[in-house]
Every structure is written in C-alpha cells, then in structure tokens.
Amino acid sequence: MTLVYGLGRSGLGVLRFLARRGRAACFHDDRPRPADLAAARALGFAACDPEPGRFRTVIAAPGVPIDHPALVALERAGAEVIGEVELAWRETGLPLVGVTGTAGKTTTTVFTARLLEELGVAAAAAGNIDPPLVEVADRPGLEAAVVELSSFQLERVRAFRPRVAVLLNLGTDHLDRHGSLERYHAAKLRLLANLTPEDAIVYNAADPRVRAAAEGSPARLVPFEPATEPRATNARAAALAAAALAGSLGRAADPGALEARALELPAVPGRFETVGRVGDVVVIDDSIATRTEAVQAALQAAPAPVAWIVGGEDKGADLGALEPVVRERVALVLAIGRDGPRFARAFTPYARTVVIEEPEGPRALERALEAALAAGGVASVLLAPLAASFDQFEDYKHRSRAFREALVRVGGEAWTAS
C-alpha cells in the first residue's frame, strides 16, 4: 500500500499519476484544505491515518519536513519515504535535465526547455515550478523534461539520475528548514549523487563549492563562467544544458547559437521584471527574490531612490548585509506580512519605514503601492520580499499576480512582456 503524505500541488499530482496507473493508495494531510480534499476524493482516493507498519512506500510532499515525526516513525517501521520527483523518474525513465542552485533555477529551467523545443525535442519544464514532474513525465510523445529542483525535493531523491545536471550556485537559503548551511548544501548536492560517466554536469566554475562538488563527480564536466548579469548567466547555462541533453538524444547543437537565442527569450514573470509605471515611477516585480543576495542585486539594479516592498515569512535572511545598499539607494521601506514589522525595525536606522498592517496579501500590496506613491520622491517601487509568501499568498506566483493587479487598481499603467 502506498501513502501520499501531503496534498497541495505535489500531492494531488502524485494521486493523479497513481490513478492513471490504477495503483492503490490513500492520502494524509496534517492541515488539509477543503478544495484539496475534494480533489483527492474525486480521484477515487480516501484519507487514512499514517500508521507505522501499514505502508511499503510513502510519497511525501516537499513541504513536509524530512524529520517530521510521522515520517520518521513510518521509516523506522520499514517504509521507504520518497518524493514525487523520485517516483516520476522511477516509473517512466524519461530523460531529464535536473536544475538546482540557490538562484536562477526557474529562468534556467524555462530557457532550457524552450531551447530544446526549438531543437525539435519535445520537452517540458516541470518540478518546483508548475507543473510537478509527475504531471508531465508520462505525457504521450514527450521526449525529455527539464526539472527545477529545490532542496526540499532533493532531500528525498534516492536513485534519481538526470542525464544532465545543472548546478548554478550554492548560497544561503532555507535555513529555517534545514537548520544549517551545511545541511542545505548537502541537500542541493543530492542532484549529483547518482551521476555516471554517461551523464553530464553543467556547473558554475566561478563558485568554489560548486566547482569542488562537480569535479568530484564521475560525470562529464561542462563548466561555464558567469556573465555580467544573472539573466545572461542563466541563458549560458541553459544553452549548455540543452546542447548536452540534445547530444544524448543524438542531435547536434551549437551552444553558442543557443546562448544567443536564449538571450532573446522573454523574461520569466516575477523575476526583476518591469511590470508598469505610475507617472514617472517605474514599478518592478521581483517576487522570487527571497534571499539576501537576490534582494541586494535587485536594490542595486532598480532606479534610485527606491521604495522597497519587503516582508512575508522570513527564511533566515541576513539583514545586516543589506545595510550599505539600503543606506545608499532606498528612500522608503514598506513592510508587509508576518515578519514585516521585524524587517522594518531592522531598517529604520537607514531609511524611512512604514509597516502595512493589513492581513490580506493582495490588499497589503495595494496599500504599499499607495503609500509609496503618496510619499513622493522615488524613481521606482520594487517588490523584493526577502521572505517566503505563504503567510499571505498561495505562493510567489500568486504574490506576483497580486502585485500586478494592485498596480492597475492604484491607477498604474501595466506593461505586458512581448
């Protein structure tokens, strides 16, 4: 018997995957949403208690901590606990590009999939971005998938082996989940655990930790040097990954030409994207910027003086590291969400701060925009939250959409990427 532990996007994807195979399973969620329960039951599955000794396999959602007491008890009773990425790979054997790193995963994943499509390879982007890998891995006619992999997903891989691994960088993130930088990096490096000489690893040669991990792998090494800005670096990595995967399928590709093409692709929403303006004030959405390094880069790049919208669920950000850029470029800090007040207190010595005391996420963003525009004297309004979104939004994509909608409500001119 199989237990699916945790519903949401991943768990429901697993249930649909199992239903297509006629596999017996039940599900458990510690805090189920009514809509998820209804969807699971509509697939023909029932809820059950996670009784140790009853299950041979447990497929846990990424959001369920690896040391969750129920999962530990199930493992001790003999169950194998895996994630949906491992399940999809075992069941289908689909050729995969696995992409991880602290920053740049989504853009690299999307660019790689688009480049493969242009090479005539039927490919899909999946994993940590929509849709989950289990939703596409058995799609008829699909030749490959490019999978964005978070540390939460990689914690649970066992035999998982992509044909091409992409390791972009190793910074600081998710310390609230992993407990230490070493454990976070160890989870990321699970991507390389099962590579063989038949596989390839595309890696950032300028990151010493990445280089050391890659050079310790038996896989074919495909190093790259970062470009001068993140999007170009992602394009370079995507070009090398697409060429490597295409080569494994017997199709030749020129990485240089692919890199040039990747630079022409539209930006991925929510990643330092100018989404509109109000009068002369530029409005920038960087909803994905939840790490100190990413926010620092965004504050450096946004037109100054900056009105900075920050807040949500803190993941262990290094606030002190942002002092110089906040002093130099930020005129107004607008703090939202659960940990917004703490962020505001930290930045009060360097910039004017306003706490937006509004529990509803979309309304909080609207009020933050209103406050930024009313204050005057700013060249840009930047959403770079430095925190996770789950206190007020479904995910960072929901936060991004809500920001754009708030821009329209305050009378802004929204731009659509061509």
Residue 353 labelled as part of a binding site: no
- Sorted by sequence, the CB contacts under 8 Å of residue 125 that are 6+ apart come out as 109, 110, 112, 113, 145, 146, 147, 148
Residue 78 labelled as part of a binding site: no
CA 24 to CA 3: how far, in whole Å? 9
H/E segment holding residue 28: strand 25-28
Residue 70 labelled as part of a binding site: no
Residue 13 labelled as part of a binding site: no
Residue 106 labelled as part of a binding site: yes
CA 154 to CA 171: how far, in whole Å? 16
Cα end-to-end distance, the chain, whole Å: 49
Amino acid (1-letter code) at residue 225: E
Secondary structure class of 394 (helix, strand, coil):
coil
Residue 375, judged by CB atoms within 10 A of its CB (0-12, 13-18, 19+), counts as middle
CA 41 to CA 61: how far, in whole Å? 18
Residue 220, judged by CB atoms within 10 A of its CB (0-12, 13-18, 19+), counts as middle
Query: What are the φ/ψ torsions at residue 374 (nearest 5 degrees)?
Result: -70, -30
Q: Residues within the annotated binding site? A: 101-107
Instruction: Specify binding-site residues for ATP.
Output: 101-107
